[in-house]
Structure 1
Amino acid sequence: MDRRDVEFDAEGVTLRGWFYPARGASGAAPTVVMAHGFSAVKEMYLDSFAEVFAAAGLNALVYDNRNFGASDGQPRQEIDPWAQVRDYRHAITYASTLPEVDATRIGIWGSSYSGGHVLVVAAIDRRVKAVVSQVPLVSGHDNLRALVRADLIAGFRGMFDSDRLARYQGDPPAMVPVVDADPTAPSALPTADSYTWFTETAKLRAPSWRNEVTLRSVEMFTEYEPITYVPYISPTPLLMLPARGDHLTPSELAIAAYGKANEPKKLSILPGGHFDAYVDGFDVSSGPARDWFLEHLA
Structure 2
Amino acid sequence: MPRRDIDFQTSDHVTLRGWLFTPEDHASSSEKKLPCLVMSHGWSAVKEMDLDAFAEYFTSHLALTCLVYDNRGFGASDAKEGEPRHEIIPSFQQSDYQDAITYAQTLEEVDAERIGIWGSSYSGGHVLFVGAVDRRVKAVLSQVPLVNGWDTFHRLIRPDFIDGMNKMFADGLTQETIELDRHARAQGKPAATIPVVDADPSKPSALPTPESYAFFTEWEKKCAWKNECTVRSVDLLRANDPSHMISRISPTPLLMTVARNDTLTPTDLALEAYSRAREPKELQMLPGGHFNGYTGQNFEGNAARQVRFLGEHLCA
> Structure 1 residue 109: deviation in Å?
0.4
Say whether 1:3 aligns with 2:21: no
The one-letter amino acid of 1:294's match is G
**2:229 alignment partner in structure 1:** 213
Query: Which residue identity is paired with 1:171?
Result: K
Q: Decide which of 46, 55, 80 is 2:51's aligned counterpart.
A: 46
Aligned-pair CA distance for 1:257: 0.3
Tell me, yes or no, if the aligned pair for 1:22 and 1:60 is still in contact at 8 Å: no
The letter of the residue matching 2:91 is W
Distance in 2 between the 1:149 and 1:268 partners? Answer: 30
d(CA) in 2 for partners of 1:274 and 1:173?
A: 29
Deviations 1:42-61 (A, max 9, x none): 00000000001111221000
Task: Give yes or no for the alignment of 1:260 onto 2:285.
Answer: no
Does residue 187 in structure 1 map to residue 205 in structure 2? yes
For residue 169 of structure 1, report the CA deviation from its aligned partner.
Answer: 4.5
User: Residue 197 of structure 1 aligns with which residue?
Assistant: 215
Q: Aligned residue for 1:72?
A: 78
TM-score by length of 1: 0.97
For 1:136 and 1:184, how far apart are their aligned partners in 2?
A: 25
Indicate whether 1:142 and 2:148 are aligned.
Answer: no
Q: 1:106, 1:129 within 8 Å by CA — same for their partners in 2?
A: yes
Q: Structure 2: any 5+ residue segments left out of the alignment? A: 172-180
1:23, 1:57 within 8 Å by CA — same for their partners in 2? no
Separation in structure 1 between the aligned mates of residue 188 and residue 218 of structure 2, nearest angstrom? 36
C-alpha separation between the residues in 2 aligned to 1:271 and 1:28?
A: 36
Contact 1:42 1:64 in 2 (8 A): yes
Q: For 1:285 and 1:63, how far apart are their aligned partners in 2?
A: 21
Residues 1:230 and 2:246 aligned together: yes
Cα-to-partner distance string for 1:92-121 (whole Å, 9 max, x where unaligned):
000000010001111000000000000000
Matched ranges for 1:1-298 at <5 A: 1-11=1-11, 12-25=13-26, 26-55=31-60, 56-73=62-79, 74-162=83-171, 163-204=181-222, 206=223, 208-280=224-296, 281-298=298-315
Preserved CA contact (<8 Å) 2:219 2:225: no
CA apart distance, 1:139: 0.5
Q: Which runs of 5+ in 1 are unaligned?
A: none
Normalization by structure 2: what TM-score? 0.91
Equivalents in 1 of 2:117, 2:286: separation in Å?
Answer: 19
Question: Quick one: which amino acid aligns to residue 277 of structure 2?
Answer: A
Check the 8 A contact 1:182/1:192 in 2, yes or no: no
Further displaced range: 145-154 or 22-31: 22-31
Query: Offset of 1:288 from its aligned partner?
Result: 1.2
> Does the 8 A contact of 1:22 with 1:29 survive in 2?
no
Q: Deviations over 1:2-37 (max 9, x none)?
A: 100000011211000000013434310011000000
- 1:172 deviates by 1.8
**Secondary structure of the structure 1 residue equivalent to 2:305:** helix
**Alpha-carbon displacement from aligned partner over 1:179-208 (angstroms, at most 9, x marks no partner):** 00112210000001101100102213x1x1
Deviates more, 1:40-49 or 1:73-82: 73-82
How many residues matched? Answer: 296
Aligned to 2:176: none
Identity value in percent = 56
Deviation at 1:170, TM superposition (A): 4.0
Moved over 2 A (4+): 22-26, 163-171
Distance (whole Å) between structure 2 residues aligned to residue 95 and residue 240 of structure 1: 23
Partner secondary structure for residue 242 of structure 1: strand
